[in-house]
Amino acid sequence: MEPAHYFNAQPDVPDVRRPLAVVLEGAERALETSAGIFSPDGVDKGTAVLLTEVPDPAPAGHLLDIGCGWGPIALTMALRSPEATVHAVDVNERSLSLTAANAGRLGLGNVHASRPEDVPADVRFSTIWSNPPIRIGKESLHELLLQWLPRLEEGGEAWLVVQKNLGADSLLRWLADSLGEAYDVGREATSKGFRILRVTRRTEGREERRRDAGGFLQTGS
């Protein structure tokens, strides 16, 4: 289990920066990391599954990484979509500092690391990727997802990776019930004990297509 302090705005362990060599987008990247953040020693298993399984993000517009840590998801989005604006959000200020520093190391000027409240309220997202912080508790997790998923633009997609034995299937059902008819919600893949969940905001006037809680596509009139 990850230490609880990575949920804090100010981690209670010293900020000692150290080198981090990881492979992102097929190349080794020389980055930096520190204690007091999520998965400080590399790309965690869930994030690795997400980055392997999901299609490329939208090539332009606004993209979002919920819970950026040292930045693997946001950096990958920026590498794949250099013309897009990537918003990396986290409550942990050390994570934000590291993501910004790592984006700078890679010359990625399209990454903006910020606290959730500092993202302009009128921004809508073409793509959201997240390995959401399941261990903050169900109520807090639900609040977090309902803060961001309704900010998808029409036709926008969110891709979430959730460990199967940490409630991925029940989260899928809750998302379908909570988001309502304006969204398609489904299970897109299972890999290495993780589910990939997809949320799509429907385009107005599109034929009604909805996935049930088991991930199966249903089409209505």
Give the residue among 91, 89, 207 at the shortest CA–CA distance from 99: 89
Which pLDDT score, from 0 to 100, does residue 11 have? 85
**Buried/exposed code over 45-81 (b: 16+ C-beta within 10 A; e: otherwise):** bbbbbbbebbeebbeebbbbbbbbbbbbbbbbbbbbb
- Say what the pLDDT of residue 161 is: 98
What phi and psi, each to the nearest 5 degrees, are found at residue 130? Answer: -160, 140
The tens-digit pLDDT sequence of the chain (221 residues) is 344 455 677 888 999 999 999 999 999 999 999 999 999 999 999 999 999 999 999 999 999 999 999 999 999 999 999 999 999 999 999 999 999 999 999 999 999 999 999 999 999 999 999 999 998 999 999 999 999 999 999 999 999 999 999 999 999 999 999 999 999 999 999 999 999 999 999 998 654 444 454 554 444 43
